[in-house]
Amino acid sequence: MNKFKVFGVLAVVLVFSLVLAGCGDRTATVDDDYKLVLRLSHVFNPAEQLSKSMDLVAERIYERTNGAIEIQTFPQAQLPAYKEGVEQVVRGANFISVEDPSFIGDYVPDMKALYAPMMYESFEEYTTLTQTDLVKDMIARAEESGIKILTLDYIYGFRNIITREPVRTPADLSGKQIRVPGTDLYINTLNNMGAIANPLPWGETLSAVQQGVVDGLEGSEFTNIGNRVYETGATHVGLSRHILGTCGVYINIDVWNGIPENYRNIIEEEFLKGAVEGTQILSDNHAAVVAELESHGVQFHEVDGAAFRARLAPMYAETAGMTPGVFEAVFAELDAMRQ
């Protein structure tokens, strides 16, 4: 074989091996000097799945970017959380806020329709809805307020009524102070259900229940087991499933656009993957969590769902800033899924 053919073969082998190396290595290959530290804040207990998911996603992003993107996670509102956490994002901090969509309602009012009470019958209905053009339009509008929504699909379970005495009907809630997170959506939901909504940060909630400042709270079985809520004496769970507890992941749009594209792709991929994995773990573990709660004396009670739904009817009227017909549009998407 003459030397030109030898060189030709070698060149093909070299190009082929370079291509293979590129495909095989899914870590980033951009400027090695680039480094960004982001602080991620949420209110969840380290024992809760959502907290574990955030830690795992941060670890995977660090590995896949060879340390260029370092996400430091801060559970239990160690950093600004709730409304203040979202404000950090809007102000352009190197910060990721993980909160439910009702906290984005201040910037995109239509998000309140996504997080309204008694909308969903399953986790899947919600994660299907978030992929519709209707919600993608809401996500695009959030960017006009400076908020890049990486995903809306983190789920921490259906929120139920957790009290010292059984609650089955709106009348059972009459005069009862029930702790809620501090957005109008939660406050209006519990007031319409018949309670006196008392907004408190999670960090003050368990002591408020223990000391009788409030008569109970509302939360999922995963919140219950992860925070040992049953130790407060609130061992009765009314299965209202009035709100599906979900969280989005929010970063400032300019901070986001300043990250090299292939790091952005890795970040988005890993947060989406973490949401799917975390939701599956919740679905797989729910029965075991219920059994464990029952072993701690927790009693579950069916509720008069129709009575609560009737009381919540006023919640499906658009309020200031919401697009006329947005609730009808959400219900139409859900009805289509249920055909």
Does the protein bind ligand X3X through residue 115 (CB under 6 A)? no
Does the protein bind ligand X3X through residue 44 (CB under 6 A)? yes
Does the protein bind ligand X3X through residue 43 (CB under 6 A)? yes
Least Cβ distance, residue 75 to ligand X3X (angstroms): 8
State which amino acid sits at residue 138: M
Q: Map the footprint of ligand X3X across residues 148-177, applying CB under 6 A.
A: 156
Given a contact cutoff of 8 angstroms between Cβ atoms, the answer to whether 115 and 104 are in contact is: no
Residue 296, token pair as written in the block: 């701690």
Q: Give me the residue label for tokens 């990250």.
A: 259
Alpha-carbon gap, residue 232 to 216, rounded angstroms: 9
Q: Map the footprint of ligand X3X across residues 80-99, applying CB under 6 A.
A: 99
**105-113, 189-197, 219-227, 296-304 -> range binding ligand X3X (CB under 6 A):** 219-227
Strand extents, DSSP E, 194-284: 196-199, 216-219, 236-252
Angle (CA) 287-289-292 rounded to 5° is: 110
Between residues 99 and 172, which has the closer beta carbon with respect to ligand X3X? 99
Does the protein bind ligand X3X through residue 219 (CB under 6 A)? yes
Least Cβ distance, residue 292 to ligand X3X (angstroms): 16
Residue 66 phi, psi (nearest 5): 55, 40
Does the protein bind ligand X3X through residue 123 (CB under 6 A)? no
Least Cβ distance, residue 48 to ligand X3X (angstroms): 6
Residue 88 phi, psi (nearest 5): -60, -40
Between residues 196 and 329, which has the closer beta carbon with respect to ligand X3X? 196
**44-52, 253-261, 279-287, 321-329 -> range binding ligand X3X (CB under 6 A):** 44-52
Does the protein bind ligand X3X through residue 216 (CB under 6 A)? no
Residue 41, token pair as written in the block: 């804040």
Task: Work out whether the CA dihedral 252, 255, 257, 263 comes out positive or negative.
Answer: negative
**Which residue of the chain is nearest ligand X3X when measured via CB?**
223
Given a contact cutoff of 8 angstroms between Cβ atoms, the answer to whether 227 and 156 are in contact is: no
Q: Residue 312: which of 197, 191, 205, 183 has the closest Cα?
A: 191
Least Cβ distance, residue 228 to ligand X3X (angstroms): 11
Long-range contacts of the stretch 302-305 (C-beta < 8 A, 24+): 302/168, 302/239, 303/161, 303/167, 303/168, 303/169, 303/238, 303/239, 303/240, 304/168, 304/169, 304/170, 305/118, 305/240
CA dihedral (63, 68, 69, 73) in degrees, to 10, reads: 70
Does the protein bind ligand X3X through residue 285 (CB under 6 A)? no
Does the protein bind ligand X3X through residue 202 (CB under 6 A)? yes
Does the protein bind ligand X3X through residue 74 (CB under 6 A)? no
Does the protein bind ligand X3X through residue 126 (CB under 6 A)? no
Alpha-carbon gap, residue 264 to 30, rounded angstroms: 12
Least Cβ distance, residue 203 to ligand X3X (angstroms): 9
Least Cβ distance, residue 232 to ligand X3X (angstroms): 13
Q: Residue 283: which of 230, 240, 244 has the closest Cα?
A: 244
Does the protein bind ligand X3X through residue 247 (CB under 6 A)? yes
Between residues 120 and 263, which has the closer beta carbon with respect to ligand X3X? 120
Q: Give the contacts of 137 (CB within 8 A, at least 6 positions apart).
A: none
Does the protein bind ligand X3X through residue 181 (CB under 6 A)? yes
Q: Could you give the 3-state DSSP secondary structure of residue 254?
A: helix
Does the protein bind ligand X3X through residue 189 (CB under 6 A)? no
Between residues 247 and 259, which has the closer beta carbon with respect to ligand X3X? 247
Least Cβ distance, residue 309 to ligand X3X (angstroms): 22
DSSP state of 34: -
Binding footprint of ligand X3X on the chain (CB under 6 A): 43-45, 48, 99-100, 103, 156, 181, 202, 219, 223, 227, 247
